[in-house]
Amino acid sequence: MMAHTHRHGRSHALGAKALGYAFLLNLLFTVVEAIGGLATDSVAVLSDAVHDLGDSLVLGTAWYLQRLSDRDRDQKYSYGYGRYSMLGGWMASMVLILGALFMLSMSIPRLWSPGEPHAPGMILLAVFGLVVNSLAAYLLRGGESLNERGVFLHLLEDVLGWAAVLIGAIIIHFTGARIIDPLLSIGISVFILYNAVRTLRQGTKILMQGLPEHFDTLAVSEALSTIPGVVDTHDQHAWSLDGEFIVLTIHLVVNETGWDAGERIKTEARRILHERGVDHATIELEPPMDAEGPFPS
């Protein structure tokens, strides 16, 4: 059986600290922009506040899970605690979807009766948002864990969202086109909804033990069949614990018997599987239907 491996670029302590700082920055700014959105009467700013509230949940969950990432398997969880990260991401996606639908219900009626958004205030909030989210993204640059990379992408989306609000506020300031504000809100909400649904589908697939993305089972079978002594493969199953850690089980039909031959075949099979991203493999050897022989378990 393949060893349980961990792949980390930076230390867990540094990663958790960066996530903690990013979480506190994002949570503080969520409060500021919610107040600012109400003060400027801008549904675009309020839409991004809802987005950042969801991101705060993502960051807080990621921070907590990163601190638990060193916890190994125990009597309760034989594969460890990695799947909690996917559960956290799944729940955060649900929050973002509900928030986006709520903001759409507020923004669409404003297409026919735009409010009076305060463009200078929107510009100030947008600049502040760009600075805060850029700083948070900078803290997580180069992160190697799945949590850090996922949160980094969320923060990059925030930077782009605030850039859009800034451009829209400038247009409103110089042209007085108030309809830009609800159009921006709808655009941001649809963008959030699309990405949240995609994340929800990916998380659901992992929770339901679907085949990992870009994992070619046929190529794996063909590669294992090139091992001397292997004549067939079957009952191959692969899934991911958290979107990164891949688990596989497979049966190899072999025409060689004995412990030495079995160990040689399994060692080569582990090497091939490891090269294809499998972190934990259970390999069962069996003789052809018309033969018998002892094999190592």
Question: How confident is the model at residue 53, as a pLDDT?
Answer: 78
pLDDT of 22 > 50? The answer is yes
- Residue 206's alpha-carbon distances to 43, 228, 279, in angstroms, are 35, 34, 16
Task: Summarize pLDDT for 105-136 with one digit per residue, the tens.
Answer: 877 887 887 777 778 888 888 888 888 878 87
What is the average per-residue pLDDT within 10-24? Answer: 61
One-character DSSP codes across 182-196: HHHHHHHHHHHHHHH
Domain with CATH 3.30.70.1350 in the chain: 217-286
Question: How confident is the model at residue 66, as a pLDDT?
Answer: 63
More confident residue, 177 or 140: 177
Task: Summarize pLDDT for 241-290 with one digit per residue, the tens.
Answer: 777 788 999 999 998 878 888 899 999 999 999 999 898 899 999 887 65
**pLDDT-based confidence at residue 82 (cuts at 50, 70, 90):** low
More confident residue, 102 or 210: 210
Domain with CATH 1.20.1510.10 in the chain: 12-207
CA angle (91 as vertex; 86, 93 as ends), nearest 5: 95
Cα separation, 280 vs 297, in Å, equals 16
- Decide which of 3.40.50.300, 3.30.300.130, 3.30.70.1350, 3.30.70.20 is the CATH code for 217-286: 3.30.70.1350
Question: How confident is the model at residue 154, as a pLDDT?
Answer: 66
**pLDDT-based confidence at residue 143 (cuts at 50, 70, 90):** low
Note whether 287 and 293 are within 8 A (CB). yes
More confident residue, 6 or 206: 206
Give the residue from 19, 22, 30 showing the smallest Cα distance to 129. Answer: 30
Give me the CATH code for the 12-207 domain, please: 1.20.1510.10
